[in-house]
């Protein structure tokens, strides 16, 4: 039998084989691109995923960008700005260095890069296929930084695509990667979302590691964290991290390990830490561990695995032993405050209050909770309404809205699209720098303490048409609904910009008639000295009709050329604003919105629209109003509001009582 002929493989085949080693699944591609963003000093990284990253995976940052002259070769193999000679490998301190990430992605997907550097007047767009530039590099408007879009991953490697998990499982892997890097890089804000949906991960800029752990993995873990830190000059080792105390456990452990700021796995270190926790935790449970090790770069080999998820380093056994002793010492200090639960025998009486009787077992406090620190969170317990003889909708569904009795109120109703007619639209991402700036202002002005209160609030009950009671931990707060809701809708208008569904009027409304109704309102401030009402109405209608194309494109507000209003944007599921306040809203759109300057236009329009949508108190039947607050408004505040710092000063949220302080009062009595 003749021996086979040895041939040199085609370059395309070679590159696809190499790409398959580096880009094993969407999460690997995203990790490489995120590390490039962090190397580019980005402080904002936004990731959008479609079909688990297989159909589309997009990452946008505000880093240094890529130079126009480098775009021609940026997707070729072994092109990098991090490495010049082989000796540089011994001191590498950046994430990327081999120049294979973008090249590998371009061999198994359609790759598009939009980038702009600080010194360039405009951005540039380039498309790539099989490592080569496809078409010309085109100038394009854009913000500083880089946006990379990966479409149809593994379109030319069908066997790899078939071997992957479901889109939801792939998205979970992506979420895991983003979570790790968001925790380790609190100086940057990370946002992860599926196309057309709200973000599943969003961290604030200039946050802390503990805050990001609480935001991503849950407040219970955040409360149970114990810091660990040490330095060893002999081993040239520095260790920082957080582990959960002995009173806290998970069914499935969470381990975040970074060596020289690179997310890696080290089975030896993981086994050593698990062995320590096995002395304290019940069988079948595990801890949360975040460790960041910094070693001399010359002692670490980061080039032993194509995906760089494994590294080798000198003195491995000594370093593992050092970390093991450090974790053991931290746990030993908390062992004295361990708490235990006693199982009741069948037929024995339950304690009077079983709500969080031993939160330290599930929540991670260092000490057992005393009576005056117990927190009421059970939805089955009595609510405030009982004591005022008020009952909501028994079925949990809002009651039908009653017709306003005022003759001046508008008869047409706003209607939402029926579920059967809804189509899941592809979410559009805006490139307007003004909107990005306004979003960044909202995030930078957010107060982390207030955000924690809203994220973990328990709705207690309605006081009146303007105030409700909410509970956070052992504290009771009085919340003013209208300013909170106005801020919520303002933020929804910014973060969902260009992606609103329509609320359609059953009959189009004549803008001129609305303006006359608004001017007749004593609160409008209109007097005869301002001029004839009819002339003012014509000016306002003309102004709004001239802005109709922009309002339709960005906000789905439909205004006909003959001056009739057909629709408003849908800002929140199961929420319809009151048309009673529509006349004044129309007037304020024309007079209070700064139409001539882009960013001020979007800001003032969003403020006015948010205020209009927030005015819910006077027009709803009492039962429906209370249902809407509890089941629509406050869940949205809990999940989506980024409360600004001013809310802690302007009386929107007032602390009424604290359980420990009340106990002190009763003790004195």
Same domain assignment for residues 529 and 601: yes
**Structural domain for 579, as ranges:** 430-655
Check whether 465 has a pLDDT greater than 90: no
Same domain assignment for residues 155 and 273: no
CA distances from residue 601 to 547, 589, 607, 608, 665 in whole angstroms, order as listed:
11, 10, 10, 11, 53
pLDDT for 89 equals 47
Phi, psi of 301 (to 5 degrees): -105, 105
Q: Is residue 350 part of a domain?
A: no
Q: Which two tokens stand for residue 553?
A: 């494109």
The strand order across the sheet containing 110-116 reads 132-140, 123-129, 110-116, 145-151, 56-61, 44-50, 189-194, 201-202
Query: What percent of the chain is predicted at pLDDT more than 70?
Result: 77
Among 202, 235, 261, where does a domain finish? Answer: 202
pLDDT for 304 equals 53
pLDDT tens digit string along 564-580?
A: 999 999 999 888 888 88
pLDDT for 126 equals 95
Q: Which two tokens stand for residue 118?
A: 């600080």
Band of pLDDT at residue 159, cut at 50, 70 and 90: confident
Q: What is the mean pLDDT of the chain?
A: 81
CA distances from residue 52 to 27, 151, 157, 668 in whole angstroms, order as listed:
9, 12, 17, 60
Same domain assignment for residues 195 and 214: no
* pTM greater than 0.85: no
Q: Which two tokens stand for residue 499?
A: 């992606």
pLDDT tens digit string along 521-565?
A: 887 777 777 778 888 999 999 999 999 999 999 999 999 999 999
Domain count, the chain: 3
pLDDT for 80 equals 62
Name residue, tokens 């639960």.
341
Find, among 518, 517, 495, 483, the residue nearest to 592 by Cα: 518
Burial class, 319, CB count within 10 angstroms (exposed 0-12 / middle 13-18 / buried 19+): buried
Find, among 553, 512, 551, 557, the residue nearest to 532 by Cα: 512
Does 188 or 626 have the greater pLDDT score? 188
Band of pLDDT at residue 158, cut at 50, 70 and 90: confident
Q: Is residue 342 part of a domain?
A: no
Q: Is residue 502 part of a domain?
A: yes
pLDDT for 120 equals 92
Q: Is residue 523 part of a domain?
A: yes
Q: Residue 180: which CATH number? A: 3.30.565.10
Name residue, tokens 């005015």.
615
Find, among 315, 280, 273, the residue nearest to 298 by Cα: 315
| 90-99, 172-181, 280-289, 460-469: which is most confident | 172-181
Q: Is residue 666 part of a domain?
A: no
Same domain assignment for residues 48 and 107: yes
Check whether 95 has a pLDDT greater than 60: no
Q: Is residue 40 part of a domain?
A: yes
Band of pLDDT at residue 348, cut at 50, 70 and 90: very low
Does 476 or 662 have the greater pLDDT score? 476
Q: CA-CA distance, 389 to 108, in Å (whole number)?
A: 65
pLDDT for 379 equals 46
Phi, psi of 501 (to 5 degrees): -80, 175
Check whether 340 has a pLDDT greater than 70: no
pLDDT for 13 equals 60
pLDDT for 603 equals 94
Band of pLDDT at residue 377, cut at 50, 70 and 90: low
Check whether 108 has a pLDDT greater than 80: yes
Other C-beta atoms within 10 Å of 645: how many? 14
pLDDT for 184 equals 95
Among 300, 332, 364, where does a domain finish? Answer: 332
pLDDT tens digit string along 115-130?
A: 999 999 999 999 999 8
| Per-residue DSSP letter, 64 | -
Q: CA-CA distance, 470 to 453, in Å (whole number)?
A: 10
Strands 145-151 and 110-116: antiparallel
Same domain assignment for residues 312 and 189: no
pLDDT for 423 equals 52
pLDDT for 394 equals 35
Using DSSP's 3-state secondary structure scheme, residue 461 falls into strand
pLDDT for 336 equals 52
Same domain assignment for residues 118 and 218: no
Band of pLDDT at residue 301, cut at 50, 70 and 90: low
| 78-92, 353-367, 378-392, 397-411: which is most confident | 78-92
| 84-88, 306-310, 585-589: which is most confident | 585-589
Burial class, 390, CB count within 10 angstroms (exposed 0-12 / middle 13-18 / buried 19+): middle
Q: Is residue 403 part of a domain?
A: no
pLDDT for 360 equals 35
Point out the least confidently predicted range of 130-144, 238-252, 277-291, 650-664. Answer: 650-664
Burial class, 666, CB count within 10 angstroms (exposed 0-12 / middle 13-18 / buried 19+): exposed
- From first CA to last CA, the distance across the chain in angstroms is 103
Among 285, 316, 332, where does a domain finish? Answer: 332
Name residue, tokens 């003012």.
536
Same domain assignment for residues 167 and 244: no
Same domain assignment for residues 108 and 215: no
Element of type H or E holding 122:
none
Q: How many residues does the chain have?
A: 669
Same domain assignment for residues 39 and 85: yes
Q: Is residue 401 part of a domain?
A: no
Helices (H) and strands (E) in the chain, counts: 21, 22
pLDDT for 101 equals 78
pLDDT for 436 equals 92
Same domain assignment for residues 512 and 594: yes
Same domain assignment for residues 222 and 266: yes
pLDDT tens digit string along 18-65?
A: 555 668 889 989 998 999 999 899 999 999 999 999 999 999 999 999
Same domain assignment for residues 195 and 219: no
Point out the least confidently predicted range of 400-414, 424-438, 559-573. Answer: 400-414
Q: Residue 259: which CATH number? A: 3.30.230.10
Distance of CA 318 to the CA centre of its chain: 40
């Amino acid at each position: 039998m003749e021996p086979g002929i040895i041939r040199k493989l085609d370059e395309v085949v070679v590159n696809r084989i190499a790409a398959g080693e580096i880009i094993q699944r969407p999460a690997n591609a995203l990790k490489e691109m995120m590390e490039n963003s962090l190397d580019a000093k980005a402080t904002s990284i936004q990731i959008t995923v479609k079909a688990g990253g297989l159909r589309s995976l997009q990452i946008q940052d505000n880093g240094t960008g890529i130079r126009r002259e480098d775009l021609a070769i940026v997707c070729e193999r072994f092109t990098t700005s991090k490495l010049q000679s082989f000796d540089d490998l011994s001191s590498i301190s950046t994430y990327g260095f081999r120049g294979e990430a973008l090249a590998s992605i371009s061999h198994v997907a359609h790759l598009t890069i939009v980038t702009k550097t600080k010194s360039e007047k405009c951005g540039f767009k380039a498309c790539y296929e099989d490592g080569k530039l496809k078409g010309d590099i085109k100038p394009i408007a854009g913000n500083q930084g880089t946006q990379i879009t990966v479409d149809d991953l593994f379109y030319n490697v069908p066997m790899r695509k078939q071997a992957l998990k479901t889109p939801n499982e792939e998205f979970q892997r992506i979420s895991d990667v983003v979570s790790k890097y968001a925790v380790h890089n609190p100086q940057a804000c990370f946002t992860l979302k599926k196309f057309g949906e709200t973000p599943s991960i969003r961290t604030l800029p200039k946050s802390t590691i503990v805050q990001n752990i609480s935001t991503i993995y849950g407040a219970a873990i955040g409360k149970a964290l114990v810091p660990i830190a040490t330095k060893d000059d002999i081993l040239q080792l520095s260790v920082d991290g957080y582990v959960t105390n002995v009173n806290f456990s998970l069914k499935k452990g969470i381990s975040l390990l970074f060596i020289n700021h690179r997310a890696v796995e080290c089975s030896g270190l993981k086994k050593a830490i698990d062995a320590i926790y096995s002395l304290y935790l019940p069988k079948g449970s595990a801890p949360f561990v975040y460790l960041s090790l910094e070693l001399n770069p010359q002692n670490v080999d980061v080039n032993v695995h194509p995906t760089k998820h494994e590294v080798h380093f000198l003195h491995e056994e000594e370093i593992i032993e050092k970390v093991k002793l450090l974790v053991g010492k931290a746990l030993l200090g908390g062992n004295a405050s361990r708490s235990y639960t006693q199982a009741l025998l069948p037929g024995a009486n339950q304690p009077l209050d079983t709500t969080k009787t031993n939160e330290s077992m599930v929540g991670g406090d260092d000490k057992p909770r005393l009576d005056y620190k117990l927190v009421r969170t059970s939805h089955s317990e009595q609510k405030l309404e009982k004591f005022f003889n008020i009952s909501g909708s028994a079925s949990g569904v809002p009651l039908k809205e009653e017709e306003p009795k005022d003759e001046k109120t508008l008869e047409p109703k706003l209607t939402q699209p029926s579920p059967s007619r809804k189509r899941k639209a592809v979410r559009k991402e805006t490139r307007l720098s003004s909107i990005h700036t306004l979003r960044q202002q909202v995030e930078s002005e957010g107060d982390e303490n207030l955000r924690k209160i809203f994220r973990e609030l328990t709705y207690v009950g309605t006081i009146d048409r303007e105030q409700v009671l909410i509970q956070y931990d052992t504290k009771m707060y009085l919340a003013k609904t209208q300013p909170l809701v106005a801020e919520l809708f303002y933020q929804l208008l910014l973060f969902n910009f260009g992606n609103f569904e329509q609320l359609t009027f059953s009959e189009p409304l004549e803008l001129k008639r609305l303006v006359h109704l608004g001017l007749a309102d004593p609160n409008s401030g209109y007097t005869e000295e301002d001029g004839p009402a009819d002339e003012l109405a014509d000016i306002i209608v003309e102004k709004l009709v001239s802005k109709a194309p922009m309002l339709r494109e960005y906000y789905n507000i439909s205004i006909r050329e003959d001056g009739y209003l057909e629709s408003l944007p849908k800002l929140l599921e199961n929420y319809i604003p009151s048309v009673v306040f529509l006349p004044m809203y129309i007037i304020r759109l024309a007079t209070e919105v700064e139409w001539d300057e882009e960013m001020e236009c979007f800001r003032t329009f969003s403020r006015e629209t948010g205020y209009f949508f927030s005015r819910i108190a006077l027009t709803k039947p009492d039962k429906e109003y209370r249902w809407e607050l509890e089941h629509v408004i406050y869940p949205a505040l809990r999940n989506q509001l980024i409360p600004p710092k001013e809310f802690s000063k302007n009386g929107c949220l007032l602390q009424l009582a604290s359980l420990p302080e009340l106990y002190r009062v009763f003790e004195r009595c």
